[in-house]
Amino acid sequence: MRSILVPVLLASVAQAYVDELVGEDQVFNAVLDNLFDRVLEASQLHGDADLDSSTLAKTHPDFSRALQAASNQRAMSSMFPAPVASRSQIAVRGPCQASMGKRAVTCSAKPKVSVGLVGAGLVGKDLIAQIESNPPNGLDISVVAVARSSVMALGAGAPKNAADGKGDPTDLVKLGDFMTGQEGTKVIVDCTADDGPSEYYAAWLEKGINVVTPNKKMGSGPLKRYKEVMAAAEKGGVKWYYEATVGAGLPIITTVQDLIKTGDKVTKIEGIFSGTLSYLFNQPPGQAFSALIADADKNGFTEPDPRDDLSGTDVQRKTVILARECGLEIDMDDVPVESLVPKPLESWEPTAEEKAQGLAKVFIEKMKEYDADMTARMEKADAAGEVLRYVGSIDVKAKKASVSLSSFPKNHPFAATQYADNIVSFASERYTPRPLVVQGPGAGAAVTAGGVFADVLRAGGVFR
């Protein structure tokens, strides 16, 4: 086989292939022919030459990715059931493995998605169960690697091995290398609550691995790092998906993205983003705040240290994520937060004896001293025909965001929340004077894993 080395392939040209291949539903052969011609054009070579795929893959990874995108696109479509001949010298074997040097184009039935999971706790375990029990028709999807805090299992049987504590010490660089060698669309899912894995996103994305996460640390972390990750995704020709960081499985991020992509101008977003704080303020009036916290604790709604919920930091993170989605270049420090933890209790460190009694229990006892303030606020709101709701708010026009306990009329959508509902209202040029409202449970392993799974499928091209 004659082999040519394509000396120069501009990244922008390769990106154009990807855009074209992914963005349009074209006849596959024509796409491949076009791709081939443009490689020759970009390399200033002409004629009917065979291409050595492994040389090209090494020297021009962008071209390889473009070819893979073509292959995925081809195999995703039921419009092309049978292998067809092409004038192009590119042969595609299976949806994800491409080689060149032959004239025939062959494709297997199912495109492949290889998932590497970091974090197999409540959400991660549920995600594995959902992938294993509901693989979508037409997609060959499997979890090929699972990393926990100290052990990492790669290859066949990874979920079970990791659950049993079998494998090697966790090494997220090695995980990235392993995923690079996997077939088809590669996806690493970060299902930890830790900031550590965020540091690897850029490297993974640059290698052409999609990243999916319900972890808020990257989305609300330093703006500089956030921008680097966005740039890395662009460079790698893949995406970072984070729908489940706000509202768990509710369509919040995609709603904003769809509004913006279709030319609408989002003017304001307000939301009840914490299930715990939603639960507290959805209870009938007349109860002391400490009693409400005790009830939430009894029903499993609070963190082991209730201050983690009451401080508003979690809501602040979600507000930053949404604000950035609307183009605001802000960091956590730019978002003022009204903490519901009384000042003296912010720095309270429980003694060993108090810890033994249960941190939450002792904290709730201490909160009783401050009940009068909250009772007065609740009664004032009630007298005005209003209710209190803990809300993150983004004023896009003013480029400002904040988190506070605010009062809403009883006929406002936020007054109609129940149980631990999340609710988000999007005001835009189109959605005015009535905003678009999304409401529902915004926490829980099953719904969160479902939101993550949907992102994995987006990466795999299912919703294209």
Ligand X SMILES: NC(=O)c1ccc[n+]([C@@H]2O[C@H](COP(=O)([O-])OP(=O)(O)OC[C@H]3O[C@@H](n4cnc5c(N)ncnc54)[C@H](OP(=O)(O)O)[C@@H]3O)[C@@H](O)[C@H]2O)c1
- With residue 227 as reference, give the H or E element that holds it: helix 223-236
In angstroms, what CA-CA distances link 95 with 71, 83, 85, 215?
A: 5, 12, 16, 31
Closer by beta carbon to ligand X, 119 or else 237: 119
Q: Say whether 318 is catalytic.
A: yes
Closer by beta carbon to ligand X, 70 or else 162: 162
Q: How far is the CB of 448 from ligand X (least distance, A)?
A: 4
Q: How far is the CB of 288 from ligand X (least distance, A)?
A: 27
Three-state SS at 256 = helix
**26 half-sphere exposure, CB direction, 13 A CA radius:** 19
Residue 110 to residue 95: CA distance in whole angstroms:
7
Contact 425, 102 (CB under 8 A): no
Closer by beta carbon to ligand X, 242 or else 370: 242
Closer by beta carbon to ligand X, 139 or else 189: 189
In angstroms, what CA-CA distances link 204 with 145, 169, 176, 212, 337?
A: 14, 19, 6, 11, 33
Q: How far is the CB of 423 from ligand X (least distance, A)?
A: 16
Closer by beta carbon to ligand X, 12 or else 150: 150
Contact 123, 190 (CB under 8 A): no
Closer by beta carbon to ligand X, 42 or else 127: 127
- Annotated catalytic residue within 207, 217, 268, 318: 318
Q: How far is the CB of 306 from ligand X (least distance, A)?
A: 16
Contact 39, 6 (CB under 8 A): yes
Q: How far is the CB of 128 from ligand X (least distance, A)?
A: 11
Contact 322, 245 (CB under 8 A): no
Residue of minimal Cβ distance to ligand X: 121
Query: Which residues in this chain contact ligand X in the complex, by CB under 6 A?
Result: 118-124, 147-150, 170, 191-194, 196-197, 214-215, 244, 248, 443-445, 448
User: Tokens 């969160």 belong to which residue?
Assistant: 448
* Alpha helices (H) in 43-168, listed in sequence order: 53-59, 61-76, 122-133, 158-163
**What residues have CB less than 8 Å from 157, skipping those under 6 apart?**
none
Q: How far is the CB of 256 from ligand X (least distance, A)?
A: 17
Q: Which residues pair with 212 in a beta bridge?
A: 189, 241
Closer by beta carbon to ligand X, 121 or else 409: 121
Residue 252 to residue 244: CA distance in whole angstroms:
8
What is the token pair recorded at 248? 């768990």
3-state helix, strand, coil in the chain (%, to 5): 45, 20, 35
The string over 101-121, giving b where at least 16 C-beta atoms fall within 10 Å of a residue's C-beta and e elsewhere, is ebeebebbebbbbbbbbbbbe
Q: How far is the CB of 319 from ligand X (least distance, A)?
A: 15
Residues designated catalytic: 318
